[in-house]
A and B are shown apart, each in its own frame.
Chain A
């Protein structure tokens, strides 16, 4: 433990030293990010260990500005020689590109000051046997629920932790640890009559080990989701109401999140360019991005540039109120950063969500299904058929056909198509079932009408 602490101090000092070296090398401004983490993952299949993976890794990213020119580099080699070379090369690289008038660090007085405790770290360390046991239990639960569950792609248990250190030439130096525990299983079910197979999966992911669902709950849900797909068929091509379950509705929120990203907007590559303060959806639609949710999977005390994270109202009562911005994309649009700089080491900052979600309504998924005479309940989406410039949407789908307010039978090999603008405007109902299983989440959503293509 002591040794670990020393190392943390070491990274702060390392960042400070390299920033000073960059200044000597001609940088007018610079920032540095260090990520040092460990990961341990176990996969079991049909009750036996299939794969164990263990590693400790570290990475350092450096961004320098020489006047209005900038470059970014990264390395996993922390030897003094290599780091020295990296600083020199970065400064040289920056001098090779052209000036960009809005480039630069955020203003010094905007850097994160307070240190909120977001409870992102759990010091629980599971040993190999414990993780194997959990992975076995989640798979066993899935395999035992129904005799039609005949096979498995495996049960997984992963744990990881990472310490992020960020420093810049304004004198900002921040760091935070975070951890993640995840459990999942992918059962395969066989139709006893036709021999046709279906696969699905379920998972639980949390920053705290103690908050995970039990392996039995996760396994049973995975089996339930898999078995219910057996006997799926195509339906005729028609225009009908479409209900997205909370998983697939989350992907719609993901699409919204991409469309409000500052980088897509200033490039004119988003269908929401120029739509600020304009109606996007009915007045019961409100969407937040909240970086300060205690224990949240997308929470962090400061963003990838050291600015404080915050709660941003993206859509308020149906009106588009804010984009998600970092310093650069904000300056391009003449707006302040929203603290959404996302930084993967070695890349320039981009914009990413923290905890991005649609505010839940009051109806259960069951109530919403009851409102549909003839329509589609979507549980799976595949493919990338979304044009973010126009909002045109066409994806492969699977789920259930709704007849008379009830799920009648499973469907597959169909597509759903429309336009995201019309889809958001066409949100008719929002469920009460908001659960965070990642950075982006949504309750069940009903959309008035979409084209379903099948037979």
Chain B
């Protein structure tokens, strides 16, 4: 059971909150909500074998929103007095045609989320700085021990502890405590005047012990070092259309960019998405089933409830190749007449709610990953990626490999330098001919940007074969 978060921790009474909600929910306003947030973020970082930086940031505030038809009025404040709430309420309701004058809103039912996907006590979330320092020092030693060609190790450990309360005009008063942490390692390798970098990281809505389980933090250090060393011997990447095998886990960023953003309800309501008219149509081969699931315990993209107080869920986006659904927030679900999926998210109290992904992944298939590689005569095997981006209107998306190999005669041969892969969202998954039985979720490093707002997300993928995609290397 989630913690029952108290309004008093924000120095407010239920009466004051209800008063503000009534003030914003005038006649022409369809829906209004107040989002209270307090967030403490901490970071320690290491470079040159010295843990020399520590930062801590505290922010607190309220976002007040009213929606009327397609219109949204929004105001936020870092002051939480009754007066500031009223001022924000007056701004937010400006979009409605009705004159001022409070309307009665239903007395909210105090609730707590029905799930508890990240049961971490506050005391566990608060890790002594000395322990964080020790963790980073051990990472430095492990990476340097991996190979003497590792010349610099940069690592950082970040935690965030967020307390939120959502009060809505449809009668909900609900809170959640949302911890989040991430460990990131980057190594620089040097040999014969050549330098290369390798990165690895992970985390989630987890406690500090997560990083010690099976010496996970040391594995992160070795993985970053391994990638940097490997890239020292990488040859130029090929250019042009070819079959590509994607490894499991983080390469699932393909799904996030190629179809995930295009299935966010706002773009489809506005008919600016390349997927706008494709519901019920084939957009992938029948070996592809793709879901967005915010209910996986401890995952970076998971939430007990979204930022409108709706419980998160599991939404089937593509079922055996057929486009089945969009991911929604309350506003877009109402305007489109489709179900609310619990994907209404915001970066902070300073941002408006948008439909956003949580953890997006493809379900496992039946192929043996070895067979998938063997099936390719000449192509690319890509296992780690940096970021990606999509133009949702024409559907073109990119994602950039940071660890990739040539496949020659059904065998993985030489490592190649990083290269960007580009394709078209509504087409690319129709070219997926084999799906492995080895579904893997990523380690927990993803951050998704949309309209200037960053939110943590997860992705996952089994090994898959894409029959053709354009690889942006430099060699013919």
Contacts and interface: CB of A to CB of B under 8 A. Distances in A.
A236 to B, nearest CB: 9
Given A383-B389, A389-B197, A396-B396, A415 B55 contact: no
A80 B152 CA distance: 42
Given A52-B95, A153-B272, A382-B398, A413 B422 contact: yes
Contacts of B54: 71-72, 93-94, 96-97
A52 B402 CA distance: 40
Contacts of A232: 394
A56 B61 CA distance: 11
B79 to A, nearest CB: 9
Interface in A368-417: 380, 382-385, 387, 389-390, 392, 394-396, 398, 412-417
Interface stretch (B44-52, B204-212, B213-221): B44-52
Contacts of A153: 270, 272, 393
Contact of B400 (A74, A188, A346, A394): A394
Contacts of A13: none
B396 A413 contact: yes
Given A73-B56, A269-B197, A453-B240, A396 B422 contact: yes
A52 B352 CA distance: 10
A232 B51 CA distance: 51
Given A52-B95, A348-B53, A383-B398, A413 B73 contact: no
A114 to B, nearest CB: 32
Contact of A97 (B52, B422, B473): B52
Interface stretch (A159-167, A177-185, A195-203): A195-203
A147 interface: no
Interface stretch (A25-33, A43-51, A301-309): A43-51
Interface residues of A, number: 78
Interface stretch (B102-110, B167-175, B300-308, B412-420): B412-420
Interface in B175-197: 186, 188, 190, 194-197
Contacts of B474: 394, 417-418, 451
Interface string A359-375: 00000000000000000
A49 B78 contact: no
B398 A197 contact: no
B386 interface: yes
A451 B390 CA distance: 22
A396 B197 CA distance: 22
Contacts of A54: 74-75, 91
A397 B304 CA distance: 39
B389 A50 contact: no
Given A57-B350, A384-B386, A70 B472 contact: no
Contacts of B393: 153, 188, 197-199
A93 B129 contact: yes
A214 interface: no
Interface string A29-73: 000000000000000010011111111111100000000011111
Scoring A58, A59, A93 by chain B CB atoms within 10 A of each residue's CB, the highest score goes to: A93
Given A98-B50, A197-B393, A49 B58 contact: no
Nearest to B472: A415
Interface string B383-415: 000111111011011111010000000000000
Contacts of A348: 53, 55
A96 B74 contact: no
B274 interface: yes
Nearest to B419: A394
A414 B422 contact: yes
Contacts of A9: none
Identify whether the interface residues of B are mostly helix, strand, loop, or mixed.
strand
Contacts of A398: 396
A76 B78 contact: yes
Interface string A218-255: 00000000000100101001000000000000000000
A73 B57 contact: yes
B71 A97 contact: no
A52 B74 contact: yes
Nearest to A398: B396
Given A237-B239, A269-B197, A396-B422, A55 B396 contact: no
Given A267-B47, A268-B190, A75 B59 contact: yes
A313 interface: no
Nearest to A419: B474
A396 B420 CA distance: 7
A275 interface: no
A432 interface: no
Interface in A77-105: 77, 82, 86, 89-90, 93-94, 96-100, 103
Contacts of A336: none
Contacts of B75: 53-55
A97 B61 contact: no
A49 B270 contact: no
A453 B239 CA distance: 5
A93 B270 CA distance: 48
A130 interface: no
A454 interface: yes
B418 A387 contact: yes
A415 B422 contact: yes
Given A49-B95, A98-B50, A199-B393, A385 B56 contact: no
B473 A451 contact: yes
B21 interface: no
B25 to A, nearest CB: 16
Contacts of A144: none
A146 interface: no
Contacts of A86: 58
Given A382-B389, A385-B398, A197 B274 contact: yes
B387 A50 contact: no
Contact of B55 (A72, A197, A385, A413): A72
A151 interface: yes
Contacts of A97: 44, 51-54, 129, 133
B72 A100 contact: no
Interface string B72-102: 1111111000000000000110110000000
A70 B53 contact: yes
A7 interface: no
A347 interface: yes
A394 B416 CA distance: 13
Contact of A396 (B44, B53, B472): B472
Contacts of B149: none
B423 interface: yes
B122 interface: no
B94 A128 contact: yes
Interface in B350-405: 350, 352, 386-391, 393-394, 396-400, 402
Contacts of B74: 51-54
* Interface-centre pick from A72, A199, A237, A418 (highest chain B CB count, 10 A): A237
14 contacts: A55-B350, A71-B55, A73-B56, A75-B58, A76-B61, A93-B129, A97-B133, A234-B470, A267-B188, A269-B152, A395-B398, A415-B420, A417-B472, A417-B473
Given A75-B57, A382-B389, A387-B417, 18 more contacts: A71-B53, A73-B58, A74-B59, A76-B61, A93-B56, A98-B51, A199-B391, A267-B152, A268-B190, A269-B197, A384-B386, A387-B418, A390-B417, A394-B237, A394-B420, A414-B470, A453-B239, A454-B240
Interface of B: 44, 47-48, 50-61, 70-78, 91-92, 94-95, 129-130, 133, 151-152, 154, 186, 188, 190, 194-197, 237, 239-241, 270-272, 274, 350, 352, 386-391, 393-394, 396-400, 402, 417-420, 422-424, 470-476
